[in-house]
Structure 1
Amino acid sequence: MARSNTFWQRHKFKLNGLVLLLPIWFLYESLTPEFPPAWPAQQLGQFEIAPMPLDLKPPYAHHDQYVKDFLLMFNHGDIASIRQGYLNIGPAPLPLAELQQHEEGILHGSRHGQHVHAIAPPQLAVTDKVWLTLQTWQGEVLTTSWPLPAQLLAAE
């Protein structure tokens, strides 16, 4: 039986090469992420904090709640003096008693940056702000907010 010299038979090895090269492309993409710029830093007690959204996409559903991912950079202040910290998006900050009931919205990470899944509404509004609530080991509750930038509202 004679082999047919079809286009597929002559070039199918190139598909194998492509399959071997694709992981290199995905590795490069994962090692060189691009983030939006950080927002202006604000002073909150002894801390100077600058938030940065990890993307400009709208909030997404995570464990039956909508969240938006942020990185909080603490430029000044000792993170070890924070007992608990929460981030939420809305017209007003959520009470600390309500924030403590769930695992979403809590800051976690290291002294280099605190990651947080900020509690958010399904659709962001112009009246919404990003609210940070910190409680120190002395029981002092500190709250500050940042307005949502137009780029984040336009991503909807």
Structure 2
Amino acid sequence: MAQNKGFWQRHKYKLNGLVLVLPCWFLYQSLTPQFPPAWPAQQLGSFEVAPMPLNLEPPYAHHDEYVKDFYLTFSQGDISSIRQAYINIGPAALPLVQLQQGEEGILHGSRHGQHVHAIAPKTLSANDKVWLTLQTWQGELLTTSWSLPPQLLQ
């Protein structure tokens, strides 16, 4: 006597195959990230700094503040001589006293590269720039900025 198998009984092995294949796809994606190109390096005192956004998406909410992630490389200068450094996005650099109030915007990482959750407005405009404020252990305060590329303004 022939059994009449339902749809689920005939195709459940395909779901099992999918469950086995998907982790391989996600592992491949996590091991081969795609980043936008780095921005031009700028001289800031004895440091030469080049920022790179980690993606071209708009700022996102992080601990009740909007931030955008960046990776910074220091090709010149001794990172150990930096006391504190912050990044914010806006029409002007935020004062150091205001930046020190929170935990967002501070550079952290190693001598190979610094990561930062840059303080940002909810939407980016053409008037905004990326501002780096850096203080050395000698008390020297250095500030520089980069214009936002058109890809980030969309």
CA–CA distance in structure 2, aligned partners of residues 8 and 95 of structure 1: 63
The CA deviation at 1:21 is 1.0
- Structure 2 stretches of 5 or more lacking a match? none
Q: Percent identity?
A: 78
| SS of corresponding position for 2:13 | helix
Whether 2:4 is the aligned partner of 1:4: answer yes
Q: Where do 1:7-156 residues align within 5 Å?
A: 7-154=7-154
CA–CA distance in structure 1, aligned partners of residues 6 and 64 of structure 2: 53
Query: Over aligned residues, Cα RMSD in angstroms?
Result: 1.3
The runs of at least 4 aligned residues of structure 1 exceeding 6 Å deviation read none
Give the residue type in structure 2 aligned to 1:14: K
TM-score (norm. length: structure 1): 0.95
Give the residue type in structure 2 aligned to 1:53: P
| SS of corresponding position for 1:71 | strand
- Structure 1 stretches of 5 or more lacking a match? none
CA–CA distance in structure 2, aligned partners of residues 37 and 31 of structure 1: 18
How many matched pairs? 154
- Could you list the per-position Cα deviations for residues 84-107 of structure 1 after superposition, in whole angstroms to 9, with x for gaps in the alignment? 000000000000000000000000
CA–CA distance in structure 2, aligned partners of residues 10 and 123 of structure 1: 50
| SS of corresponding position for 1:37 | coil
CA–CA distance in structure 1, aligned partners of residues 101 and 46 of structure 2: 27
